[in-house]
Amino acid sequence: NAGVMQNPRHLVRRRGQEARLRCSPMKGHSHVYWYRQLPEEGLKFMVYLQKENIIDESGMPKERFSAEFPKEGPSILRIQQVVRGDSAAYFCASSRDRGHYGYTFGSGTRLTVV
Amino acid sequence: ELKVEQNPLFLSMQEGKNYTIYCNYSTTSDRLYWYRQDPGKSLESLFVLLSNGAVKQEGRLMASLDTKARLSTLHITAAVHDLSATYFCAVDMNRGGADGLTFGKGTHLIIQP
């Protein structure tokens, strides 16, 4: 079992470019969650998705950020026109049955905006 | 809004000593989680606590949950250097069908020989 796979591990973007972060959940998991971690902080919930549906995006900034989880393929977190403040570690987690059996986290993508 | 507070945020202790990390949360929740994070790494699940009075132990770590007090503790017994890491507690948001976790800020634990 490969666990939750995130790529890339590290991503450098210039201000104004787009960043695309990918997450493949564990086999058998249909619930995907994205979190952002700023230095020396805990993780902040961004969005919760199931296949082809956004269930809760209350933690997503209203502009420039979007997420999807298509029928086929990984979940994508997309950040348009990145700014320095977007620099952070972005973690994806997956679960079955909405977390009753716990959440498994991926290794994260560390985004640096220069 | 659910708030999760951990204390202490920083803890330096000597090997062989015992200590407790506290996690308070502000609203009713079904589940509480403890995670460990090493620098630059992902989160490793330590414990899932599902009910009032739950106590779980793994090696030198023991976690407990008091849902009435909205308090969880992570107790470290006879600390060893390998336990140096950041420890997070997290609570299920459990909001009208949408789930996800609210995290504390983490406790940076340094264990010195």
Which tens digit of pLDDT belongs to each residue from B6-44?
999 999 999 999 999 999 999 877 789 999 999 888 899
The answer to whether residues A9 and A90 touch, using CB atoms and an 8 Å cutoff, is no
pLDDT at B97 over 70: no
Dihedral, B100, A72, A64, A14 alpha carbons, nearest 10? 110
B34 part of contact set with chain A, CB < 8 Å: no
- Our CA-based measurement puts residue A105 at a distance from the nearest CA of chain B, in whole angstroms, of 6
Long-range contacts of A62-68 (CB under 8 A, 24+ apart): A67/A34
A104·B45 Cβ contact <8 A: yes
**pLDDT reported for residue B44:** 93
Residues of A in contact with B35 (CB under 8 A): 105
The answer to whether residues B64 and B76 touch, using CB atoms and an 8 Å cutoff, is no
**Which residue does chain B place closest to A50, by CA atoms?**
B98
Pairing outcome for strands A10-13 and A109-113:
parallel
Q: Residue B109 class from Cβ within 10 Å (0-12 exposed, 13-18 middle, 19+ buried)?
A: buried
Residue B96 pLDDT grade (very low, low, confident, very high; cuts 50, 70, 90): low
A102·B42 Cβ contact <8 A: no
What are the pLDDT digits (tens) for A57-105? 989 999 999 999 999 999 999 999 999 999 999 999 998 877 667 889 9
B105·A42 Cβ contact <8 A: yes
* Tokens 């909205």, residue located: B70
| Cα–Cα distance for residue pair A4/A110, rounded to 1 Å | 16
Could you check whether the bond before residue A8 is cis, i.e. omega within 30 degrees of 0?
yes
Nearest CB among B43, B99, B106 relative to A48 is that of B99
